[in-house]
Amino acid sequence: MAGDTARVGIIGASGFTGAELLRICAQHPGLDVAFATGDSQAGTAAADLYPGLAPAYPDLVFQAWDPALLDGVDGVFVGLPHGASQTLMADVLGKVRTVVDLGADFRLSDPADYQRWYHEPHTAPELLDRFVYGLPELHRDRLEGADAIAAPGCYPTATTLALRPLVDAGLIHTEGIIVDAVSGVSGAGRPPKPHTTFCAVDENVEAYGLLDHRHTAEMDMNLGATVLFTPHLVPMNRGILATCYARPAVDGLSTDAVLKVLAQRYADEPFVVASHRSPSTKATLGTNAAHVTARYDARTGTVVSIAAIDNLGKGASGQAVQCMNLALGLPETQGLAVVGTAP
């Protein structure tokens, strides 16, 4: 690092998470983008693909990946499709101070889970233990100075922030947890797909990944639970709202009690807002913030805990930058917004 500034590269920068990384880095006084790769867009100016980046990156051109790009770089963000990082990491680990992988390749601790949920064996299982799961609210101490970080998935981030304090406090059972969550279309990535075209998405809400969505494995891992997870695609660009249901594990539970647990757990967390207010995706738009609340319904004997995040912010690129800040010794909140852009 040169003084208080680190040089970073972005591998897979032409997708939505890569573009969000570029946007955040443009406003980050401690991170200087050294290169941005995008093999499918190699030779394309970043400003041509994302005109909003033009003021900050008038001359940046997406490059094809080459390990020589790592020379003189302090940290690397990797935003590639699932499976690609497993073969890439041999060329990256040890060449820079910190790697933050935004894909799912190193999130799960058990190699067998990749066969179960991703339907293919992990090709670099020996590296799984090297990666720290990048949810600072759970693993801040391990992230400080870490050289390999696996940024969590968007749905598991929201779900874990909503439920983990209640699990740790012993207020809810870990069996029979149900999570219903909605996501904006950017969560499906930049390449067009039949179900993400305007005509398919506009004025439509659709459940998908029924009983087998890949993020279920992360939720189970983070909560030590068995989760029934159903995601839904809704006609908005960005945002996730996760509504989580669990059975109480203690008698005499109340809404005040569950809210108190959330408030105490997140009192010193810079990016988590715990309150009685019902979270909304607009409140987190363009930020690294998470808004959470909870209720206890005595009539049905159910705890309801809700979290809202921006899927490209706290659900991906913002959280990746938060982790990079911790790993490189920069202020954790540097370059990251907490105030949403609504209205």
Among the ranges 86-90, 185-189, 269-273, which has the highest mean pLDDT value?
A: 269-273
- Residue 159 and residue 128 share a domain: no
Does position 161 have pLDDT exceeding 80, yes or no?
yes
When mean pLDDT is compared across 2-6, 65-69, 283-287, 310-314, the lowest value belongs to 2-6
The torsion angles phi and psi of 8, rounded to 5 degrees, stand at -125, 155
Is residue 205 packed enough to be buried (19+ CB in 10 Å), middle (13-18) or exposed (0-12)? exposed
* Domain membership flag for residue 340: no
DSSP 322: H
- Residue 304 and residue 241 share a domain: yes
What band does 158 get if pLDDT is binned at 50, 70 and 90? very high
- Residue 319 and residue 175 share a domain: no
Provide the pairing of β-strand 177-183 with 148-150: unpaired
Domain holding 52: CATH number? 3.40.50.720
* Domain membership flag for residue 45: yes
Residue/partner pairs of 295-300 with CB below 8 Å, 24 or more apart: 295/255, 295/258, 296/248, 296/253, 296/254, 296/255, 296/257, 296/258, 298/254
- Residue 81 and residue 31 share a domain: yes
* Domain membership flag for residue 142: yes
The DSSP line for 258-271 is HHHHHHHHTTT-TT
What is d(CA 67, CA 26) in angstroms, rounded to the nearest whole number?
24
- Residue 181 and residue 147 share a domain: no
- Residue 160 and residue 114 share a domain: no
- Residue 213 and residue 73 share a domain: no
- Residue 257 and residue 286 share a domain: yes
pLDDT score of 3: 74
Domain that holds residue 101: 6-151+314-328
Domain holding 209: CATH number? 3.30.360.10
Averaged confidence pLDDT in the chain: 96
- Residue 191 and residue 230 share a domain: yes
Confirm whether 154 is a catalytic residue: yes
Does position 57 have pLDDT exceeding 80, yes or no?
yes
Structure tokens at 72: 């003189």
Is residue 119 packed enough to be buried (19+ CB in 10 Å), middle (13-18) or exposed (0-12)? exposed
* Domain membership flag for residue 341: no
Count Cβ atoms below 10 Å from residue 317 Cβ, excluding itself.
30
pLDDT score of 207: 96
* Domain membership flag for residue 197: yes
What band does 342 get if pLDDT is binned at 50, 70 and 90? confident
pLDDT score of 223: 98
Overall number of domains in the chain = 2
pLDDT score of 287: 98
* Domain membership flag for residue 1: no
Q: Which of 25, 154, 244, 323 is catalytic?
A: 154
pLDDT (average), residues 177-191: 92
Please state, for a pLDDT cut of 90, what percent of the chain lies above it. 92
* Domain membership flag for residue 336: no
What is d(CA 162, CA 223) in angstroms, rounded to the nearest whole number?
10
pLDDT score of 190: 83
- Residue 241 and residue 166 share a domain: yes
Residue 182 forms beta bridges with which residues? 232, 241
- Residue 167 and residue 77 share a domain: no
* Domain membership flag for residue 163: yes
Does position 239 have pLDDT exceeding 80, yes or no?
yes
- Residue 295 and residue 180 share a domain: yes
What band does 292 get if pLDDT is binned at 50, 70 and 90? very high
What is d(CA 216, CA 31) in angstroms, rounded to the nearest whole number?
33
pLDDT score of 162: 98
pLDDT score of 295: 98
